[in-house]
Structure 1
Amino acid sequence: MTVRVLVVEDEEHAARAHAEYVDRVPGFALAGVVRSAGEAARHLKSDPAVDLLLLDLHLPDGHGLGLLQKLRSAGVLCDVIAVTSARDVDVVRAAVAQGVVLYLLKPFTFSMFRDKLDQYAAYRAELAATTGDVAQTEVDRMLGTLRSRGSSAPLPKGMSRETLDQVVAALRSTDRGLSASEVAATVGSSRVTARRYLEHLADAGSVDRTPRYGGSGRPEVEYRWK
């Protein structure tokens, strides 16, 4: 069964990217994109068949967890993945307490995003395959699907998650393509190092490679966040 997803994100570029990501993951379909807590509440009232919220926590008309609390009080029981830059441990604790099933920190790659949705799909598949009363082992198996794969796929040897996040942030901060030299200057690395991370992102399907013409010599490759 297809999972219908509502993206709740106020930043236009991020909202568009998250919507495109949803469309690229098999088994998921975009139910809509809203830019505020109020819009989210109205959408869910008119479309109660939404299965999953991709919820930014910093919204222009209130905190995402405040929205979630109101939705739960109104009987809206769709699942929630927090998609946010909020790293405060108290916010994470409050999110878990209010039933957020997964927590994805910005910035992230498409492969990291897909990994979270795959975890959620595995959880729903376990639920669908289980009927009646459950034993402890079945409960453990169902909840384990949300945690067993880790936060993202392992990186190639010699690459760090921190540097990858910096490269992703540099690409997502602009609508134009960046060269390896430009990314290197932004993140404070060598051109060779920046190019290695950019090629990793391109191979993962998160960025597009295009030649940049101008000047003499061979064209430079530029990388643009999808």
Structure 2
Amino acid sequence: MADLRVLVVDDEPAVAAGHAEYVRRVPGFALAGVVGTVQAAVAVLSRERVDLVLLDLNLPDGHGLDIVRGIRGAGRPIDILPITAVREVDLVRAALTFGVVGYLLKPFTFADLRERLEAYARFRAGLAGATSASQSGVDAAFRELRRPASGGVLPKGLARDVMDAVIAALTRTQPAALSASEVADAVGTSRVTARRYLQYLADEGRVTRSQRLGGSGRPEVTFAWRP
């Protein structure tokens, strides 16, 4: 099967570039383009073969769902995966009515997106070449696509809700760096616990480590979210 072609739509250039790099790192996927507006997305979709759109919903010249309406209105077989900070339930429901293949909230890690892309590829592979479908085949395809995300495989002892809180604390203050103690205060955990999560994110390449002078004059390790 040919590589699945992905269009990245996000109006923040650094964020869009990061998403594009993630796509390049997942086998079986190729980048169809990177754009930051509704108008630019429509232009690419009109001239390029695109299988999947990674779509931010808040764009400077319209709403991401405007792109989806255009795709559905034209009857084009293009799938949509919103990648957004939009958490309003009404908008989530609106996206679901358009048949999106997932909904990924920012911030996230490479493992989060890779998991969804790989599930999407398995979904497409399960339907490829079929002229008719059995109920069991349809059920299997949708199970693959709708399988609850693990959010990446965390090491034993790390909890997803705490990890999300640590990431949220770092992204709220970026580009400023935080110490383990400052993250612990923001999240409501011990310094030792916060340090374990920060170390994991650093090892995964999602945060950078640096040093600053602490109150005692000793260097203090700090962590900053890597956009």
TM-score by length of 2: 0.84
> 1:161 Cα deviation (Å)?
2.6
Distance 1:58 1:213, change over 3 A: closer
Question: What is the aligned partner in structure 2 of residue 58 from structure 1?
Answer: 58
Question: What is the aligned partner in structure 2 of residue 169 from structure 1?
Answer: 168
Instruction: Answer yes or no: is the 8 Å Cα contact 2:175–2:224 preserved in 1.
Output: no
Residue type of the alignment partner of 1:160? A
Most deviating of 113-122 and 11-20: 11-20
Residue type of the alignment partner of 1:5? V
Residue type of the alignment partner of 2:165? Q
Counterparts of 1:182 and 1:163, CA distance in 2: 15
> 1:178 Cα deviation (Å)?
4.3
Residue type of the alignment partner of 1:116? R
Say if 2:28 is the partner of 1:32.
no
Counterparts of 1:108 and 1:4, CA distance in 2: 21
The residue correspondences of 1:93-132 to structure 2 (distance < 5 A) are 93-128=93-128, 130-132=129-131
Counterparts of 2:194 and 2:38, CA distance in 1: 37
> 1:220 Cα deviation (Å)?
2.8
Most deviating of 211-220 and 145-154: 211-220
Instruction: Answer yes or no: is the 8 Å Cα contact 2:207–2:225 preserved in 1.
Output: yes
Instruction: Answer yes or no: is the 8 Å Cα contact 1:167–1:187 preserved in 2.
Output: yes
Distance 1:17 1:189, change over 3 A: farther
Counterparts of 2:209 and 2:83, CA distance in 1: 29
Question: What is the aligned partner in structure 2 of residue 17 from structure 1?
Answer: 18
Question: What is the aligned partner in structure 2 of residue 44 from structure 1?
Answer: 45
Unpaired stretches in structure 1, ≥5 consecutive residues = none
SS at match of 2:107: coil
> 1:42 Cα deviation (Å)?
1.1
Counterparts of 1:61 and 1:210, CA distance in 2: 37
Unpaired stretches in structure 2, ≥5 consecutive residues = none
Question: What is the aligned partner in structure 2 of residue 87 from structure 1?
Answer: 87
Residue type of the alignment partner of 1:44? L
Cα RMSD over matched residues?
A: 2.5
